[in-house]
Amino acid sequence: MTLRCKTQLFLGVILLSVLLILDILFTNFLITSAEQTDRERMTRDLSRTSVTLNGEVRTLSAIAGNWAYSDKAWDYMTGLNPDYPNIYLNRAVLTEIGVSSLIFIDNDFNVKFARDYSAPDDSSTPESEVAAIFSNQGEDIFKNLPVDGTSGIVMKGEEPIFFAVKHIRRSDKGGDQAGYLIATMALSPKMIHKITSGLHFTFAVEPVPQNDKGRELPNMILNTDPRNSFTTGRLLVRDHAGSPAFWISGISQNVDIKSAERELQILFSILAIAALFVVFLFGFFMKHQITNRMKRLQHEIEAIRDEASDARSITIDRKRDEIASIQRTLNDFMAFFDFKQGEKNKADDITISVYKRFAEAGRRLCMKTLEDIATAFSPGDEKFRAALVRGAAKARDFARENGFEEEDLIYIYLGALFSRMGMLSLPFSIRTKTSPLTPAELREYRKYPIKSKDFMEAIELLRPASALPYAWNENWDGTGFPQGLSGSAIPIQARIFAIADAWNEMTRPWPGRRIPSEDEVIERLRAQAGTRLDPQLVEKFIAFLKQQKY
C-alpha cells in the first residue's frame, strides 16, 4: 500500500470517526433534550393541576363565605327566616358550580339543615361528607376555627372531598355568631374532566395507601421510559392537616423526535459523503503534487543505479517544498559521490596494481617453494626429480586446454608434483631394485599411492589435490592400483596426469638413450590407449601436442 493510500485511509477513518462521534453526541443531546422537555412539561402540568385543585378549594371557600356572611342566613339560624333554604338555596345553581352539599350547624354543633346538591351519578351524601370531616379532627375543627374559617381536603374513603367551614355572621361580620356553615365539593370524574379539558392534560387520582401515610413520601415522582412514547408523573397532595391524601397521576405523550433524528441522520450521511469526497480530492492532490513527483524521482534514481541513463543528475522541480529540497540534496550528493568515486578509482587502480604484483610474486614464490619440496622429497636422481616439474606443467597445460578452472589447474599441478611422495614410505631395497619385484614386494609397492594421499590430506593446502596422487596409477582397463578402478570411474585429473606422465617418461632426457621422434611418441601413446590410458583423452593430448608443436 502506497503512502498516498495510507494517508487517504487514515484521513477517511479520522473524518468518519469524527462524524460518527458527532452523530452520537448530537443524537444523545437530542434525546436528552427531548427527555428533559418531557419531564419539564410533566412537572409543569402536574404543578398546574395542583394549582387548579387549590383554586377549586379557594373557590369553594369563597362560595361558602357568600352564604355564611349573609343577613338572611343569620336570620335563618336565629329563627327569623325559616323559609331561607327553599327560597335562596337554588339546587340547579349550586349543582352547576359543583357544590356537593351545604350543611348548617348551630352553636351546639347540631345539624339544623343539610342538603345534597351533587349530580345524580354522585353517590356522596352530606352525612358521609360531614362524617369524613369530623373523623379527621372532630369538634376541634370548630373550636379552633379561625375568624375567616378554614378550607382544605379530606379523604372520604378513596374519594377526595374539598370542604370549607365558615362562621355564620351578618353581612358586615358584626354581631354574634349564629352557627357554622360547611360546604363540600367532591373531586368527581366530571370535575376531573373539566380540569383536564382546561389543562389539555390527562390525570387520575390515586389515594395514598394507609400504610404509606406515616412514611416520608416525595412530593413528585417522574418516570420517562425511553422504550415507550409516554412520560408519567405523580404529585402528592396533602389534606388540610398536612397528611398525605392522594396522588395526582398524569401521563402525557412524549415529544416526537423520530423525524428530527431522521433528518439528523440524513445530515450526517451527507456530511459523510462530503468527507469521502474530501478524501478523494486529497488523494487527487497527493497524486499530482507528491506521488507523481516521487515516482519520477524513484525512476531517475533507479536509472542512475542501473546505469541506464547517461545523465547522473536528478530533475529539480520549480517548487519550494520538501521534495524539491530532496532533489537538490540528491544532486549535490551524486556530484560529491562522483568526485569521491573518481578519487577512489585512482587509488584502487594503484592498489590493485600493487596487489597483483605482490600476489603474482607470492604465487610464484609459493609454487617455487612447493616445487622445491616436491623434487627434494621425491625418489630418484636429480634429472628424474627435475622432470617431475616438466610433467606436472604439461598436465596443467593439457587440463587448461580441456576447460578446467584456474583453481583446479593449481591442484592438478600440485597433485602431479607430489604424485610419487608416497614412495618415501617404501623400503629402500624396493625403491632401488632393478630386477622384477616379488609378489610380496609388489603388494607393498602398490601401497605407495595410499601413503601419498595420506601425506597430502595431512596438509590443508594440498588436501584438494590428494585425488590425483591416489588414482593416477589406475589403468583404463581396470588393471591398475590401488583400487582397480576402470574407465570414467577414475578421476579425470588422474587420467590427464597419467597421459602427461607417460609422455614425460617417453621424452625426458635419459643418459645413454635416444629421444624418440614425435611420430614414435604418438604411436607409443596410442598403443597404451584403452589399456593404461583413456583413449579419448589420448587423442585430445595428441592434438594438443601438435598444436603446441610438440
Q: Is 251 in a helix, a strand, or coil?
A: strand
Predicted pLDDT of residue 333: 79
Q: Which residue has the cell 593416477?
A: 472
Amino acid at site 65: G
Which residues in 135-281 belong to E strands, given as ranges?
150-156, 159-168, 179-186, 202-207, 220-224, 230-238, 244-253
Task: Give the number of other Cβ atoms within 10 Å of residue 98's Cβ.
Answer: 21
CA distance 192 to 49: 10
Residue 35's nearest CA partner among 227, 201, 263, 204 is 227
By residue count, the chain amounts to 550
Q: Is 398 in a helix, a strand, or coil?
A: helix
CA distance 417 to 393: 9
Q: Which residue has the cell 574407465?
A: 487
Q: Is 304 in a helix, a strand, or coil?
A: helix
Cα torsion angle, 305, 309, 311, 317, sign: negative
Q: Hey, what's the cell of 1? A: 500500500
Characterize 512-541 residue by residue with b for buried, 16 or more Cβ atoms within 10 angstroms of its Cβ, and e for exposed.
Answer: eeeeeeeeebbeebeebbeebbbeebbebb
Contact 455, 463 (CB under 8 A): no
pTM confidence score: 0.48
Say whether the peptide bond before residue 189 is cis (omega within 30 degrees of 0).
no
Q: Which residue has the cell 600440485?
A: 414
Compute CA distances 342 → 7, 153, 183, 334, 337, whole Å.
42, 114, 124, 12, 8
Residue 470's nearest CA partner among 443, 494, 504 is 494
Q: Which portions of the chain are predicted below pLDDT 50?
A: none
Strand pairing partners for 353? Answer: none
Please compute, for residue 280, the number of CA atoms within 13 A of its CA located in the half-sphere on the CB side.
6
CA distance 184 to 164: 6
CA distance 220 to 448: 122
Q: Hey, what's the cell of 458? A: 595431512
Q: Tell me the pairing of strands 159-168 and 179-186.
A: antiparallel
Q: Is 513 in a helix, a strand, or coil?
A: coil
CA distance 371 to 33: 107
Query: What does the domain layout of the chain look like in residue ranges?
Result: 3-253, 378-547
Predicted pLDDT of residue 57: 86
Q: What topology does CATH give the domain 378-547? A: Hypothetical protein af1432 (1.10.3210)
Predicted pLDDT of residue 465: 92
Q: Which CATH superfamily is domain 3-253 in?
A: LuxQ periplasmic domain, N-terminal subdomain (3.30.450.220)
Q: Hey, what's the cell of 479? A: 588393471
In degrees and rounded to multiples of 5, residue 88 shows phi and psi of: -105, -20
